[in-house]
Amino acid sequence: MVTETCINGRNDLKALTLWDSGSNTTCFSPSYAYVAKLDVRRLAEPVPLQLGTVGSRSVINFGSYFRFDFPGATPMDYADIVNLDVYHLLIGTPTMHKYGVHLDFENNCVRIGSDRRALYPGRLPAVFSMAAPERAETSGYVDADIPRLRQAHLDAFADMMQGVPEELPPMREVNHEIHLADDNAQYQYYRPRCPDSLRDELRAKTARYLRAEWWK
Protein backbone atom coordinates (compact mmCIF):
# COMPACT_ATOMS: atom_id res chain seq x y z
CA MET A 1 0.00 0.00 0.00
CA VAL A 2 1.20 3.51 -0.81
CA THR A 3 0.40 6.74 1.04
CA GLU A 4 2.02 10.10 1.72
CA THR A 5 3.82 10.67 5.03
CA CYS A 6 4.95 13.89 6.69
CA ILE A 7 8.46 13.81 8.16
CA ASN A 8 9.77 16.10 10.91
CA GLY A 9 6.51 18.05 10.88
CA ARG A 10 6.96 19.28 7.30
CA ASN A 11 3.63 19.24 5.48
CA ASP A 12 5.21 20.80 2.39
CA LEU A 13 7.51 17.85 1.71
CA LYS A 14 5.48 14.66 1.99
CA ALA A 15 7.25 11.38 1.32
CA LEU A 16 5.69 8.88 -1.08
CA THR A 17 5.57 5.90 1.28
CA LEU A 18 5.40 2.17 0.58
CA TRP A 19 4.05 0.13 3.50
CA ASP A 20 5.86 -3.17 3.03
CA SER A 21 4.86 -5.95 5.41
CA GLY A 22 7.53 -8.18 3.86
CA SER A 23 10.42 -5.90 4.81
CA ASN A 24 12.33 -5.76 8.08
CA THR A 25 13.78 -2.31 7.54
CA THR A 26 12.59 1.28 7.29
CA CYS A 27 14.51 3.40 4.81
CA PHE A 28 14.58 6.66 2.86
CA SER A 29 15.79 7.28 -0.65
CA PRO A 30 18.98 9.40 -0.85
CA SER A 31 17.23 12.03 -2.98
CA TYR A 32 14.46 12.57 -0.42
CA ALA A 33 16.96 12.63 2.45
CA TYR A 34 18.88 15.36 0.61
CA VAL A 35 15.85 17.50 -0.26
CA ALA A 36 14.33 17.12 3.22
CA LYS A 37 17.71 17.92 4.82
CA LEU A 38 17.58 14.89 7.08
CA ASP A 39 20.37 14.36 9.59
CA VAL A 40 22.24 11.70 7.60
CA ARG A 41 25.10 9.90 9.33
CA ARG A 42 27.65 7.42 8.03
CA LEU A 43 27.45 4.01 9.68
CA ALA A 44 30.53 2.73 11.49
CA GLU A 45 30.20 -0.59 9.67
CA PRO A 46 28.36 -1.13 6.35
CA VAL A 47 25.27 -3.31 6.73
CA PRO A 48 24.45 -5.88 4.01
CA LEU A 49 21.01 -5.56 2.46
CA GLN A 50 19.45 -8.63 0.84
CA LEU A 51 16.26 -7.99 -1.11
CA GLY A 52 15.20 -11.62 -1.46
CA THR A 53 16.27 -12.26 -5.04
CA VAL A 54 19.47 -13.60 -6.55
CA GLY A 55 21.97 -10.85 -7.28
CA SER A 56 20.07 -8.10 -5.46
CA ARG A 57 22.52 -7.75 -2.61
CA SER A 58 23.45 -4.20 -1.64
CA VAL A 59 25.16 -2.42 1.25
CA ILE A 60 23.78 0.25 3.58
CA ASN A 61 26.36 2.93 4.39
CA PHE A 62 24.19 5.72 5.81
CA GLY A 63 21.28 6.18 8.19
CA SER A 64 19.21 9.01 9.62
CA TYR A 65 17.20 9.92 12.72
CA PHE A 66 13.86 11.66 12.15
CA ARG A 67 10.34 12.05 13.53
CA PHE A 68 7.10 10.63 12.09
CA ASP A 69 3.81 12.51 12.15
CA PHE A 70 2.02 9.45 13.56
CA PRO A 71 -0.17 9.72 16.66
CA GLY A 72 2.07 8.99 19.66
CA ALA A 73 5.24 9.04 17.57
CA THR A 74 8.49 8.94 19.53
CA PRO A 75 10.79 11.97 19.27
CA MET A 76 13.33 10.05 17.21
CA ASP A 77 13.03 7.11 14.83
CA TYR A 78 15.80 5.59 12.75
CA ALA A 79 15.83 4.71 9.05
CA ASP A 80 18.49 3.51 6.66
CA ILE A 81 19.37 5.38 3.48
CA VAL A 82 18.84 3.00 0.56
CA ASN A 83 18.66 3.49 -3.21
CA LEU A 84 14.90 3.08 -3.51
CA ASP A 85 13.66 3.02 -7.08
CA VAL A 86 10.24 4.69 -6.97
CA TYR A 87 9.38 5.59 -3.40
CA HIS A 88 10.78 8.18 -0.99
CA LEU A 89 10.18 6.07 2.10
CA LEU A 90 9.69 2.37 2.78
CA ILE A 91 8.22 1.33 6.12
CA GLY A 92 8.75 -2.27 7.16
CA THR A 93 7.17 -4.61 9.69
CA PRO A 94 9.13 -3.54 12.84
CA THR A 95 8.03 0.09 12.50
CA MET A 96 4.45 -0.92 11.67
CA HIS A 97 4.39 -3.17 14.75
CA LYS A 98 5.80 -0.37 16.91
CA TYR A 99 2.95 2.00 16.01
CA GLY A 100 0.18 -0.58 15.66
CA VAL A 101 -0.28 -0.02 11.93
CA HIS A 102 -3.12 -1.88 10.19
CA LEU A 103 -3.14 -2.29 6.42
CA ASP A 104 -6.87 -2.11 5.77
CA PHE A 105 -7.39 -3.76 2.38
CA GLU A 106 -11.17 -3.76 2.78
CA ASN A 107 -11.38 0.04 3.04
CA ASN A 108 -8.27 0.82 0.98
CA CYS A 109 -6.48 2.73 3.70
CA VAL A 110 -3.71 2.54 6.30
CA ARG A 111 -4.84 2.88 9.93
CA ILE A 112 -2.46 4.06 12.66
CA GLY A 113 -4.40 4.01 15.89
CA SER A 114 -7.30 6.42 15.34
CA ASP A 115 -5.56 8.00 12.37
CA ARG A 116 -6.64 6.85 8.92
CA ARG A 117 -4.49 7.47 5.82
CA ALA A 118 -6.04 7.27 2.38
CA LEU A 119 -4.06 5.56 -0.36
CA TYR A 120 -2.07 7.72 -2.74
CA PRO A 121 -4.10 8.39 -5.93
CA GLY A 122 -3.20 6.02 -8.72
CA ARG A 123 -1.41 3.59 -6.39
CA LEU A 124 -4.22 1.11 -5.79
CA PRO A 125 -2.79 -2.34 -5.01
CA ALA A 126 -2.76 -4.67 -8.00
CA VAL A 127 -4.98 -7.18 -6.18
CA PHE A 128 -7.86 -4.69 -6.27
CA SER A 129 -7.40 -3.61 -9.86
CA MET A 130 -7.22 -7.23 -11.02
CA ALA A 131 -9.91 -8.77 -8.84
CA ALA A 132 -12.96 -6.88 -10.06
CA PRO A 133 -15.68 -9.50 -10.57
CA GLU A 134 -18.35 -6.91 -11.29
CA ARG A 135 -16.40 -5.78 -14.35
CA ALA A 136 -16.13 -9.34 -15.66
CA GLU A 137 -19.84 -9.92 -15.17
CA THR A 138 -20.84 -6.77 -17.06
CA SER A 139 -18.34 -7.02 -19.93
CA GLY A 140 -21.09 -8.22 -22.27
CA TYR A 141 -18.88 -10.61 -24.29
CA VAL A 142 -19.64 -14.29 -24.78
CA ASP A 143 -17.77 -17.13 -26.50
CA ALA A 144 -19.59 -16.46 -29.76
CA ASP A 145 -17.96 -13.01 -29.89
CA ILE A 146 -14.41 -14.41 -29.93
CA PRO A 147 -14.11 -14.91 -33.75
CA ARG A 148 -15.40 -11.40 -34.41
CA LEU A 149 -13.08 -9.83 -31.83
CA ARG A 150 -10.13 -11.84 -33.12
CA GLN A 151 -10.73 -10.69 -36.69
CA ALA A 152 -11.10 -7.10 -35.53
CA HIS A 153 -7.69 -7.28 -33.85
CA LEU A 154 -6.13 -8.88 -36.94
CA ASP A 155 -7.54 -6.13 -39.14
CA ALA A 156 -6.42 -3.38 -36.77
CA PHE A 157 -2.83 -4.66 -36.62
CA ALA A 158 -2.53 -6.15 -40.09
CA ASP A 159 0.52 -4.03 -40.89
CA MET A 160 2.37 -5.58 -37.94
CA MET A 161 1.46 -9.19 -38.67
CA GLN A 162 2.38 -9.46 -42.35
CA GLY A 163 6.12 -9.01 -42.01
CA VAL A 164 8.24 -6.32 -43.60
CA PRO A 165 6.70 -5.07 -46.88
CA GLU A 166 8.98 -5.60 -49.86
CA GLU A 167 9.19 -1.96 -50.86
CA LEU A 168 11.56 0.91 -50.24
CA PRO A 169 10.71 3.37 -47.48
CA PRO A 170 10.46 7.08 -48.33
CA MET A 171 13.79 8.46 -49.47
CA ARG A 172 13.97 10.91 -46.60
CA GLU A 173 14.45 7.99 -44.22
CA VAL A 174 17.46 6.47 -46.01
CA ASN A 175 18.97 9.36 -47.95
CA HIS A 176 22.21 10.21 -46.18
CA GLU A 177 25.90 10.68 -46.86
CA ILE A 178 29.03 9.54 -45.07
CA HIS A 179 31.72 12.20 -45.35
CA LEU A 180 35.23 10.75 -45.23
CA ALA A 181 38.04 12.71 -43.64
CA ASP A 182 40.34 11.94 -46.58
CA ASP A 183 38.86 11.17 -50.00
CA ASN A 184 42.19 9.82 -51.25
CA ALA A 185 42.80 7.44 -48.36
CA GLN A 186 43.19 3.75 -49.20
CA TYR A 187 41.56 1.27 -46.84
CA GLN A 188 42.58 -2.36 -46.57
CA TYR A 189 39.91 -4.86 -45.72
CA TYR A 190 39.13 -8.53 -46.09
CA ARG A 191 36.21 -9.52 -48.26
CA PRO A 192 33.54 -11.11 -46.04
CA ARG A 193 32.95 -14.80 -46.60
CA CYS A 194 29.72 -16.62 -45.83
CA PRO A 195 30.04 -19.95 -44.01
CA ASP A 196 28.82 -22.95 -45.98
CA SER A 197 26.13 -23.68 -43.39
CA LEU A 198 24.50 -20.28 -44.07
CA ARG A 199 24.76 -20.15 -47.86
CA ASP A 200 21.14 -21.20 -48.47
CA GLU A 201 19.90 -18.57 -46.05
CA LEU A 202 22.10 -15.94 -47.73
CA ARG A 203 20.77 -16.84 -51.18
CA ALA A 204 17.16 -16.52 -49.99
CA LYS A 205 17.90 -13.18 -48.34
CA THR A 206 19.74 -11.88 -51.42
CA ALA A 207 16.85 -12.90 -53.68
CA ARG A 208 14.37 -11.14 -51.42
CA TYR A 209 16.43 -7.93 -51.36
CA LEU A 210 16.75 -7.92 -55.15
CA ARG A 211 13.05 -8.67 -55.60
CA ALA A 212 12.12 -5.77 -53.31
CA GLU A 213 14.72 -3.58 -55.07
CA TRP A 214 16.46 -2.89 -51.79
CA TRP A 215 19.63 -3.86 -53.64
CA LYS A 216 20.41 -3.02 -57.25
**Using an 8 Å Cβ cutoff, are 92 and 80 in contact?**
no
Question: If DSSP states are collapsed to H, E and C, what string results for the chain?
Answer: CEEEEEECCEEEEEEEEEECCCCCCCEECHHHHHHCCCEEEEEEEEEEECCCCCCCCEEEEEEEEECECCCCCCCCEEEEECCCCCCCEEECHHHHHHCCEEEECCCCEEEECCEEEECCCCCCCHHHHHCCHHHHHCCCCCHHHHHHHHHHHHHHCHHHHCCCCCCCCCHHHHCCCCCCCCCCCCCCCCCCCCCHHHHHHHHHHHHHHHHCCCCC
Query: 103-118: per-residue pLDDT in tens?
Result: 988 888 898 877 888 8
pLDDT band at 131 (very low <50, low <70, confident <90, very high): very low
pLDDT band at 130 (very low <50, low <70, confident <90, very high): very low
Which pTM value belongs to this model? 0.53
- The confidence score (pLDDT) of residue 203 equals 92
Rounded Cα–Cα distance for residues 28 and 14 (Å): 12
- The confidence score (pLDDT) of residue 175 equals 63
Is 139 a residue whose pLDDT tops 70?
no
pLDDT band at 80 (very low <50, low <70, confident <90, very high): very high
CATH 2.40.70.10 fits 2-130, yes or no: yes
